[in-house]
C-alpha cells in the first residue's frame, strides 16, 4: 500500500478518539464550563473498556462501561465547579489527575494482554468505489457512528431549540436563569455528555485502535482534544476537521518512519504537540475572531 | 449546588457568600480535605481487596518511624516546595502554568550539560554554574509560553502542557543518543556526575541536600512578594478582578511574564537540584511527576506561602508512605496519584466554605 | 365596582444571608390597573418582582393568583399562570436574532412567530425586525423586543422593572402610550420605579416600599410628589445644590476629532469626538447607556490606548496607560463598582492601595501598611462610609457605601481632572445627594470634572456644560442653563441637529 493510501485508510480511525472527545468537550464549553479533566476521563474510559472487553468479549458493554465511567468522573467535576463553585481550571486538573490515577490502579493487571478489535464494515456502494472504497470508506462501525454523531450534534446545536438553550446558557447564565432555564442542570447534563464522550474516546483508543492497554497510553490526546475546541472556534465542523487533520498527521509520521526517513522517533513523537502549539498560536492571534466565536461565560464561576 | 429552586422540595440548600473570608475554614479546609481523602482512599483500597489498615499505617506512620525515612520525606519535599511556591505566584495572578514538569526537565538538562561535557571537572564553580543553567533552562521553557500568550493570545494552560510533553521527548532523545553514557551498558542515562557537580548534603548520611534550603528561601521570598510588595499586590488584583487591574493600570502582560517566570525559574532550579542531588546523573526518572504534583501542593496549600510549606510536607509524607505501602500492603504505585487527585478534589470542596456558608432553607408550604 | 384582586401577596419575606430584602410584604393588584411599586434603590422592589415571577422563591408568605394560592417555582410556571416580566437589565441574548430570543420562551413554529411579532408590533407601535440580531439593536429597541416577547404569551399581568431609565424623554411618552393601551385591553401592569413624576402620570395605585417593608398604599394622582418622596425616603427631599462660584480656568482635557473603531465584538465605534473640560467646570455627557459611554470612558482613562488626539493637562496622553495618566493628576470613578472600581474580596485598605498607592503608600517596592490604613480611615471618615473599618471587605459594603468609598479614594488624591461614570447608579438617595454635593464642591475648588450619566435630572442639577452621546457621536456642547430637557431628549434620539 502506498503511503498516501495508508494515511487515507487510517486517518479517520486515528481521528475518531479526538473527534469524540473534542466534540463532547465543545458541547460542555458551549454551555460555559471549561473541563480540563478530559485526559483523565479518556484514560479511565480506556482502562475500563479494556477490562470489560477482556472479561466479556463485548465491545458494546465495554463502550457502555467507559461512557458511564467518563460521565461519573464528569459528575464529580460538576459537583466541584458548579456545586462548590470551585475554580474550573483547578477542578479540571484535579479530576484529570484522579482519572489517570484510577486508570492505572484498575488497569495494571491487564497491561500485557490484547483484545480483538472491530471488523471494517462493508457499506454497499461506498465500499465498491475504486481506491477510496478500500481506503477511506473501509472503516469500522465506531468510525461511522462517530461521523453520524458529529453531524447529529451539529444539527442539535444549530437547528433545534435545545441548541438555542445551550447557546443562551453559555452566553449569559444570569439572563438564562431570569427567563427560566435551569442553568446548573443544563450545564451538568452537558458535562455528563462530554464525560461520556471522552470515556468512549478512550474506549476506542484502547480496544479498537491499538487493542492493548498501557499506562499513559492516552499520551496527551485529551489535551489535544481541548486544544481542538479552540482550533475549531467552538464549531462542530471545524473541530471535527481539525481532528481529522491530526489523524492524518499521526499516520504521516508512521509513514515517514516506515519509509526510513532519518528522523529520530522522539522528533516524530513531538510533532503533534508542536503542531498543537502552532495551531493555537495561529487561531488565537486573531483576537477579534476569538472574541466573536468564543463562549462569553466560559470558565467563569456562576453563583445562581 | 442549587440554582435557586431545586425542584418543589420544602428544603433547599444554598451557599451564601460570607461578608469576609473565614479564617477558621482557611485552616480547617486542608485538614478536612486530608481526612476525607484518607477515608475515601481506604474505602477504595478495601474495595480493591488490599489490607486497608496496613495501607493506612504505611502511608501515614511509616515515614516517621526511622530517621532515614524521615530524611527521605525532606528530600522529596525540596523540589515540591520550591516548584509549588513558584507556581502559586502565577496562579494567584490567574496565570495557569501547568507545565512545571517540562520546565523541571529542561532545567535538569541544562544543568547536566556542564558535567556531561566536563565529566572530570573539579572547579568549585561547577555547581553554582549548573544551578544557574538549570534555573535559566526552566525559565526559557516557561517564557516560551509567556511570549506566545502575550504576543499571540495562545492559552498558557495548553502551551505549557504541550511543552512538557515535548520536554520528555527531548530528554529521551538526549539519553538515547548524544548524552548516553558510552560505558553505561546501553542504559538511557548520562555519565555519573563528578563530586564537584553534586549538592552538599544537608543532613549527614542522608540524601537530603541543601536544595531544601532553596525551597525554604523561596517560601520567604514568596511571602514577602505576595504579602508585602506592590508587585505582588498587582498580581493578586489581576487574579481576583482582571477589570480592576486594567482600571488601575496594572499590566496583564507583565503579570503573565512574571507569573510564568516564577514557576519556570523554580522548576528549573528544582530540576538542576535533582540531577545534582539524589540522581547524580541525568536519567529518565528525573521526569517523575514532581511538576504535576507541585500543582496539587500549591492549591492544597491555599496558594499561600506558609500553607504551601505544610502541604509540601504532607504530600511528601504520602509519597514516602506510598512507597512503603507498595511493599507492606501491596498497594499499586498509582495509589499515590489517586490520593493526590482526591486531595485536590476534596480541598476544592472544602475551600468553598472559606467564602460561603451553607444555609438550609425551609420554605413556606405552597 | 368591587372586584377581587388579580394578585395578592401576604406576608412575603425573602432573606439573603443576613440581609432581609423583603419583610412581610402585602400587595394587592386589581384587574385592569397600572399599579406602581415605588421605592428607592435597595428598597427591595426588584427582589419582590423576582418572587412573583418565580426567579426566586420566598422564605415565607403566600402568593394568591386569581383566588388560588400559587408557588411559582420558575419563570416558566409564572408565564403559564399568565404573568410576564420585562427586566431592567434585559434578559436578551446578544448573539441571537430577535426571533431566536422569542422562540426560546414562546412555543410555536418560527414562521408563525415571525408573523405574530410583526402583527403585534404594528398593533402596539412596537415595530422591530424579527430577523435582526439583538446586538445590533438600540437599547430602546431591545426593550420593545422584551415587551413583545411577553405579550406573545397573552399575559394577564405584566411586570415592568424600571423601564424608563433606558429611554429618552420622548421614548417614555411612547412607552406610556403602549402600557395604557395594554391596560385598556385588560392587562394589569406592575410598574416598578423610583421616579415620582412618572408614577403620578401613569399609575392608579402605588405601593410604597422602604427598606424591604411596605410603607403605605396610596393613589399617586391624589398625593403630592413631596408626600410620595417623604414616604419613599422617610425624610424630606434634600435641598438643591449651591451654584457655580467662578469662571472656568485652563483646559484640562481635550479630545479633538477622535475616532475609535469598536474593539469588542458588540461594542460601539466612536466617531469625531470633540470634547473639552476646563478647570472649575463640570461637563456632563447624557445619553442612554450602550451608545459608546463605556468606550469613551476607557479612552479617557487609558484602559484603551489610541493614536488619536487625547490631551490631558496640556500633554498628549493617547498612548499612555492608566498609571501614567494618574501620575499627571487624573482620577476616575468607573460605573462598575464591584470587580472594577474595587476588588470585592480585598479589604478597603487594599482597595485604597489600588489607585492611591502613589500617595506615599509604597516604600522600596513594599507596602507601607500604616499609611495605607491612615488614608483608608480618612476616606471612610470624610465621606461617612458606613463600615466596621479599613479591614472590612469591599464586597460586604452596600452599593451606596462602596460608591462613597470609591469617590473618596479618587477625590482625596486631589486630582486635577476627575472622570465619574454613572455616579449614582443603584445608590440610595441619601448617598446620591452626598455624592453630587461633593462633586460640586470639588468643582468649586477648581477641579475639572467630567460626568457620564443616564440621569438627565442629575446632569441638569450639577453640570455647567452638557453633551449628548448617541450612536458613538457626541453632540456639540450645550450650556446647561440654556438648553431644555426636550432638546437634550432630541439629541438622545439622534435628531438633535434638526431640533437645535
Neighboring chain A residues of B96 at a CB cutoff of 8 Å = 89
Asked whether the beta carbons of residue B292 and residue A97 sit closer than 8 angstroms, the reply is yes
- CB-count burial class (<10 Å; 0-12, 13-18, 19+) for B333: middle
Q: B159: distance to nearest CA of chain C, Å?
A: 25
Q: How confident is the model at residue B183 (pLDDT cuts 50, 70, 90)?
A: confident
The DSSP bridge partners found for residue C205 are: C35
The maximal CA–CA distance of chain A, rounded, in angstroms, is: 63
N-terminal to C-terminal alpha carbon distance within chain A: 58
Q: Are strands C60-65 and C68-70 parallel, antiparallel or unpaired?
A: antiparallel
Report chain A residues whose CB lies below 8 A from the CB of B345: 76, 80, 91, 94-95, 98
User: Is C104 a residue whose pLDDT tops 70?
Assistant: yes
Name the grid cell of B228: 508585602
CB nearest to B153's CB, from A95, A102, A285: A285
Please check whether residue C339 touches B, CB under 8 A.
yes
CA-nearest residue of chain C to B355? C345
Percent of chain A with pLDDT over 70: 100
Confidence of residue B363 (pLDDT cuts 50, 70, 90): low
CB pairs under 8 A between A and B: 157
Contact C57 B5 (CB under 8 A): yes
Question: At C242, is the pLDDT very low, low, confident or very high (cuts 50, 70, 90)?
Answer: low
3-class secondary structure, C31: coil
- Calpha distance A22→A41 (Å, rounded): 12
Range in A154-163, A241-250, B91-100, C42-51 with the lowest mean pLDDT: C42-51
Closest-CA distance, C498 to chain B, in angstroms, reads 38
What pLDDT score was predicted for residue C241?
65
Between C194 and C250, where is the model more confident? Answer: C250
B340: closest CA of chain A, how far (Å): 7
The candidate with the shortest Cα–Cα distance to A20, out of A139, A147, A134, is: A147
CB A194 within 8 A of CB A42: no
Percent of chain B with pLDDT over 70: 96
- Cα separation of C317 and B119, whole Å? 58
A1 confidence band (pLDDT: 50, 70, 90): low
Beta-carbon separation of C264 and A291 below 8 A: yes
Residue A151 has a CB neighbour count (10 Å cut-off) of 13
pLDDT score, position C451: 98
How much is the average pLDDT of C185-210?
92
Query: What per-residue confidence (pLDDT) applies to B3?
Result: 41
* C324 reaches B (C-beta below 8 A): yes
Q: Give yes or no for residue B7 having a pLDDT over 70.
A: no
Read off the DSSP letter of residue C416: S
Q: Which three cell numbers stand for residue C58?
A: 420566598
| Residue burial B208-221, b: 16+ Cβ < 10 Å; e: rest | bbebbebbbebbee
The alpha carbon of residue B230 is apart from the nearest alpha carbon of chain C, in Å, by: 6
In 3D space, the residue among B63, B53, B361, A105 whose CA is nearest the CA of residue C59 turns out to be B361
Given a cut of 50, is residue C341 above it in pLDDT?
yes
For residue C392, what pLDDT is reported? Answer: 92
Please tell me the distance from the alpha carbon of residue C398 to that of residue C406, in angstroms, as a whole number.
Answer: 12
Smallest CA–CA distance from C92 into chain A, residue = A175
Establish if C323 touches chain B: CB-CB under 8 angstroms. Answer: yes
pLDDT at A259: 82
CB proximity A264 to C under 8 Å: no
ipTM over cut 0.90: yes
Average pLDDT value for chain A:
93
Q: Which residues of C245-270 are buried (b: 16+ CB within 10 A; e: fewer)?
A: eeebeebbbbbeebebeeeebebbeb
Gap between the Cα atoms of A65 and C33, Å rounded: 60
- Residue C318 class from Cβ within 10 Å (0-12 exposed, 13-18 middle, 19+ buried)? middle
Are C249 and C278 within 8 A, CB to CB? Answer: yes
**pLDDT above 70 coverage of chain C, percent:** 96
Contact C189, C33 (CB under 8 A): yes
Asked if the model's pLDDT at residue A99 lies above 80, the reply is: yes
Burial C362-391 (b: 16+ CB within 10 A, else e): beeebbbeebbbbbbeebbeebebebeebe
- Look at residue C499 in the predicted model and tell me its pLDDT: 40
| Contact between chains at A177 and C105 (C-beta distance less than 8 A) | no
Encode B28-40 in three state secondary structure.
HHHHHHHHHHHHH
Report the residue of B292, B341, B349, B361 to disrupt the A interface, i.e. the one with the largest count of A CBs within 10 Å.
B341
Q: Can you spell out the DSSP letters for C281-324?
A: EEEEEES-TTSSHHHHHHHHHTSS--SSEEEETTEE-TT--HHH
Distances (CA, A) of A18 to A25, A238, A251, A282, B148: 10, 13, 14, 20, 24
Q: Is the pLDDT of residue B365 over 80?
A: no
Answer yes or no: do C104 and A292 touch at CB < 8 A. Answer: no
Least confident interval from A82-91, B217-226, B262-271, C40-49: C40-49
pLDDT score, position A288: 84
List CB contacts (< 8 A) between A108 and chain B.
332, 334
| Contact state of A100 with B337 under an 8 Å Cβ cutoff | yes
Contact yes or no for B83/B222 (Cβ under 8 A): no
Inter-chain touch B332–A104, beta carbons under 8 Å: yes
Dihedral angle over CA of C486, C488, C491, C492, nearest 10:
-90
Lowest mean pLDDT among A197-211, B281-295, C373-387, C482-496: C482-496
Tell me whether A165 touches chain C (CB under 8 Å): yes
Chains that touch B (3 or more CB pairs under 8 A): A, C
Contacts of C74 in chain A (CB under 8 A): 180, 182
Is residue C123 scored above 90 in pLDDT? Answer: no
Q: What is the pLDDT of residues B53-76, one digit of tens each?
A: 888 889 889 999 999 999 999 999
- Residue A112: its pLDDT value, please? 83
- Poorest-pLDDT segment among A47-56, A175-184, B144-153, B256-265: A175-184
> What pLDDT does B10 receive?
61
pTM above 0.90, yes or no: yes
B17/C395 touch (CB, cutoff 8 Å), yes or no: yes
pLDDT band with cut points at 50, 70 and 90 for residue B6: very low
Q: How would residue C422 be classed by pLDDT, with cut points 50, 70 and 90?
A: very high
Q: How far is CA B209 from CA A45, B74, B115, B188, B205, in A?
A: 41, 9, 19, 25, 10
Residues 6+ apart with CB under 8 A from A260: none
Query: What does DSSP say about strands C330-333 and C315-316: parallel, antiparallel, or unpaired?
Result: unpaired
Query: Would you call C241 helix, strand, or coil by DSSP?
Result: coil
What's the pLDDT tens digit per position in B128-155? Answer: 999 999 999 999 999 999 999 999 999 9
> CB pairs below 8 Å between A and C: how many?
48
pLDDT at res. A254: 82
Which residue of A166, A168, A179, A294 to mutate against C (max C Cβ within 10 Å)?
A: A179
The C-alpha of C432 sits at a distance from chain A's nearest C-alpha, in angstroms, of 27
Which of A187, A266, A283, A285 to probe by mutation at the B interface, max B CB count within 10 Å? Answer: A266
Backbone angles phi, psi at A105, to 5 degrees: -65, -50
Task: For chain C, say whether A303 makes contact (Cβ under 8 Å).
Answer: no
Amino acid at each position: 500500500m502506498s503511503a498516501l493510501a495508508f494515511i487515507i485508510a487510517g486517518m479517520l480511525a486515528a481521528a475518531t478518539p479526538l473527534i469524540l472527545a473534542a466534540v463532547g468537550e465543545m458541547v460542555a464549553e458551549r454551555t460555559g464550563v471549561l473541563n480540563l479533566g478530559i485526559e483523565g476521563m479518556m484514560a479511565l474510559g480506556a482502562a475500563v473498556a479494556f477490562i470489560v472487553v477482556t472479561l466479556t468479549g463485548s465491545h458494546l458493554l465495554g463502550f457502555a462501561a467507559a461512557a458511564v465511567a467518563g460521565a461519573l468522573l464528569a459528575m464529580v467535576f460538576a459537583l466541584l465547579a458548579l456545586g462548590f463553585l470551585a475554580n474550573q481550571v483547578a477542578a479540571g486538573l484535579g479530576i484529570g489527575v484522579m482519572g489517570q490515577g484510577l486508570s492505572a490502579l484498575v488497569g495494571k493487571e491487564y497491561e500485557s494482554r490484547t483484545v480483538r478489535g472491530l471488523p471494517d464494515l462493508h457499506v454497499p456502494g461506498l465500499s465498491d468505489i475504486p481506491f477510496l472504497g478500500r481506503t477511506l470508506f473501509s472503516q469500522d462501525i465506531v468510525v461511522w457512528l462517530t461521523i453520524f454523531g458529529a453531524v447529529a450534534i451539529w444539527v442539535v446545536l444549530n437547528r433545534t431549540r435545545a441548541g438555542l438553550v445551550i447557546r443562551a446558557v453559555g452566553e449569559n447564565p444570569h439572563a438564562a436563569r431570569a427567563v427560566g432555564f435551569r442553568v446548573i442542570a443544563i450545564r451538568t447534563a452537558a458535562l455528563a455528555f462530554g464525560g461520556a464522550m471522552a470515556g468512549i474516546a478512550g474506549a476506542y483508543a484502547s480496544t479498537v485502535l491499538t487493542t492493548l492497554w498501557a499506562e499513559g497510553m492516552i499520551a496527551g490526546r485529551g489535551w489535544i482534544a481541548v486544544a481542538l475546541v479552540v482550533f475549531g472556534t467552538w464549531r462542530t465542523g471545524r473541530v471535527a476537521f481539525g481532528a481529522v487533520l491530526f489523524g492524518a498527521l499521526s499516520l504521516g509520521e508512521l509513514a515517514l518512519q516506515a519509509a526510513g526517513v532519518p528522523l529520530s522517533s522522539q522528533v516524530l513523537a513531538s510533532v503533534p504537540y508542536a503542531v498543537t502549539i502552532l495551531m493555537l498560536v495561529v487561531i488565537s492571534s486573531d483576537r477579534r475572531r476569538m472574541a466573536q466565536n468564543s463562549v462569553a461565560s466560559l470558565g467563569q464561576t456562576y453563583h445562581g | 449546588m442549587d440554582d435557586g429552586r431545586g425542584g418543589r422540595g420544602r428544603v433547599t440548600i444554598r451557599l451564601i457568600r460570607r461578608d469576609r473570608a473565614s479564617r477558621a475554614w482557611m485552616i480547617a479546609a486542608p485538614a478536612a480535605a486530608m481526612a476525607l481523602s484518607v477515608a475515601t482512599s481506604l474505602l477504595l483500597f478495601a474495595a480493591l481487596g488490599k489490607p486497608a489498615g496496613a495501607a493506612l499505617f504505611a502511608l501515614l506512620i511509616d515515614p516517621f518511624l526511622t530517621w532515614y525515612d524521615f530524611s527521605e520525606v525532606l528530600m522529596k519535599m525540596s523540589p515540591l516546595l520550591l516548584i509549588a511556591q513558584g507556581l502559586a505566584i502565577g496562579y494567584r495572578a490567574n496565570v495557569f502554568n501547568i507545565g512545571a514538569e517540562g520546565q523541571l526537565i529542561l532545567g535538569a538538562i541544562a544543568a547536566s550539560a556542564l558535567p556531561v561535557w566536563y565529566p572530570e571537572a573539579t572547579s568549585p564553580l561547577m555547581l553554582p554554574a549548573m544551578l544557574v543553567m538549570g534555573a535559566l533552562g526552566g525559565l526559557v521553557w516557561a517564557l516560551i509560553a509567556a511570549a506566545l500568550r502575550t504576543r499571540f493570545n495562545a492559552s498558557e494552560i495548553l502551551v505549557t502542557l504541550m511543552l512538557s510533553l515535548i520536554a520528555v521527548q527531548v530528554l529521551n532523545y538526549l539519553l538515547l543518543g548524544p548524552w548516553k553514557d558510552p560505558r553505561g551498558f546501553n542504559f538511557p542515562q548520562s555519565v555519573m556526575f563528578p563530586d564537584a557537580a553534586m549538592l552538599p548534603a544537608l543532613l549527614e548520611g542522608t540524601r537530603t541536600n541543601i536544595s531544601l534550603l532553596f525551597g525554604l528561601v523561596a517560601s520567604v521570598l514568596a511571602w514577602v512578594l505576595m504579602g508585602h510588595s506592590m508587585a505582588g499586590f498587582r498580581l493578586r488584583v489581576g487574579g481576583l478582578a482582571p477589570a480592576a487591574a486594567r482600571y488601575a493600570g496594572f499590566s496583564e502582560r507583565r503579570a503573565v511574564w512574571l507569573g510564568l517566570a516564577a514557576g519556570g525559574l523554580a522548576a528549573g532550579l528544582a530540576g538542576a537540584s535533582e540531577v545534582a542531588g539524589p540522581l547524580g546523573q541525568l536519567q529518565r526518572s528525573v521526569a517523575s511527576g514532581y511538576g504535576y504534583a507541585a500543582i496539587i501542593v500549591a492549591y492544597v496549600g491555599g496558594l499561600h506561602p506558609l500553607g504551601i510549606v505544610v502541604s509540601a510536607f504532607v504530600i511528601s509524607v504520602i509519597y514516602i508512605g506510598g512507597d512503603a505501602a507498595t511493599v507492606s500492603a501491596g498497594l499499586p504505585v498509582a495509589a499515590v496519584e489517586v490520593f493526590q487527585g482526591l486531595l485536590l478534589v476534596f480541598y476544592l470542596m472544602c475551600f468553598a466554605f472559606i467564602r460561603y456558608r451553607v444555609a438550609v432553607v425551609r420554605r413556606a408550604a405552597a | 365596582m368591587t372586584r377581587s384582586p388579580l394578585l395578592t401577596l401576604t406576608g412575603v419575606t425573602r432573606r439573603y444571608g443576613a440581609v432581609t430584602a423583603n419583610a412581610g410584604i402585602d400587595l394587592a393588584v386589581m384587574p385592569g390597573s397600572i399599579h406602581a411599586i415605588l421605592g428607592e434603590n435597595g428598597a427591595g422592589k426588584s427582589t419582590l418582582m423576582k418572587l412573583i415571577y418565580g426567579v426566586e422563591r420566598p422564605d415565607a408568605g403566600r402568593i394568591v393568583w386569581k383566588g388560588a394560592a400559587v408557588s411559582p417555582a420558575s419563570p416558566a410556571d409564572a408565564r403559564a399562570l399568565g404573568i410576564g416580566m420585562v427586566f431592567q437589565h434585559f434578559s436578551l441574548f446578544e448573539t441571537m436574532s430577535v426571533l431566536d430570543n422569542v422562540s426560546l420562551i414562546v412555543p410555536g413554529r418560527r414562521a408563525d412567530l415571525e408573523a405574530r411579532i410583526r402583527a403585534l408590533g404594528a398593533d402596539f407601535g412596537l415595530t422591530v425586525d424579527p430577523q435582526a440580531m439583538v446586538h445590533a439593536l438600540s437599547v430602546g429597541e431591545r426593550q420593545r423586543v422584551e415587551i413583545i416577547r411577553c405579550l406573545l404569551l397573552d399575559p394577564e399581568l405584566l411586570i415592568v422593572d424600571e423601564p424608563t431609565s433606558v429611554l429618552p424623554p420622548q421614548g417614555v411618552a411612547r412607552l406610556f402610550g403602549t402600557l395604557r393601551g395594554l391596560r385598556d385591553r385588560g392587562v394589569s401592569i406592575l410598574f416598578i420605579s423610583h421616579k415620582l413624576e412618572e408614577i403620578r402620570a401613569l399609575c392608579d395605585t402605588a405601593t410604597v416600599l422602604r427598606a424591604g417593608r411596605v410603607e403605605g398604599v396610596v393613589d399617586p394622582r391624589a398625593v403630592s410628589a413631596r408626600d410620595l418622596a417623604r414616604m419613599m425616603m422617610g425624610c424630606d427631599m434634600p435641598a438643591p445644590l449651591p451654584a457655580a462660584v467662578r469662571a472656568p480656568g485652563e483646559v484640562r482635557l481635550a479630545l479633538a476629532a477622535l475616532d475609535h473603531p469598536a474593539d469588542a465584538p458588540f461594542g460601539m465605534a466612536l466617531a469625531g469626538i470633540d470634547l473639552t473640560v476646563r478647570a472649575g467646570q463640570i461637563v456632563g455627557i447624557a445619553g442612554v447607556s450602550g451608545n459608546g459611554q463605556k468606550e469613551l470612558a476607557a479612552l479617557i482613562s487609558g484602559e484603551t490606548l489610541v493614536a488619536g488626539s487625547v490631551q490631558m493637562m496640556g500633554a498628549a496622553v493617547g498612548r499612555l496607560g492608566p498609571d501614567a495618566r494618574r501620575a499627571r493628576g487624573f482620577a476616575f470613578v468607573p460605573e462598575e463598582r464591584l470587580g472594577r472600581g474595587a476588588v470585592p474580596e480585598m479589604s478597603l485598605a487594599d482597595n485604597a492601595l489600588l489607585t492611591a498607592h502613589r500617595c506615599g503608600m509604597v516604600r522600596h517596592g513594599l507596602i507601607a501598611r500604616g499609611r495605607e490604613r491612615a488614608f483608608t480611615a480618612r476616606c471612610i471618615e470624610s465621606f461617612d462610609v458606613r463600615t466596621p473599618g479599613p479591614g472590612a471587605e469591599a464586597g460586604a459594603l452596600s452599593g451606596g457605601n462602596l460608591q462613597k468609598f470609591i469617590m473618596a479614594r479618587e477625590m482625596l488624591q486631589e486630582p486635577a481632572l476627575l472622570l465619574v461614570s454613572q455616579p449614582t447608579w443603584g445608590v440610595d438617595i441619601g448617598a446620591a445627594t452626598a455624592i453630587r454635593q461633593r462633586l460640586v464642591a470639588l468643582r468649586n475648588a477648581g477641579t475639572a470634572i467630567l460626568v457620564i450619566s443616564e440621569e438627565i435630572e442629575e446632569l441638569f442639577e450639577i453640570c455647567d456644560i452638557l453633551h449628548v452621546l448617541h450612536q458613538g457621536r457626541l453632540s456639540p456642547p450645550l450650556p446647561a442653563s440654556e438648553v431644555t430637557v426636550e432638546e437634550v431628549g432630541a439629541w438622545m434620539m439622534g435628531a438633535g441637529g434638526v431640533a437645535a
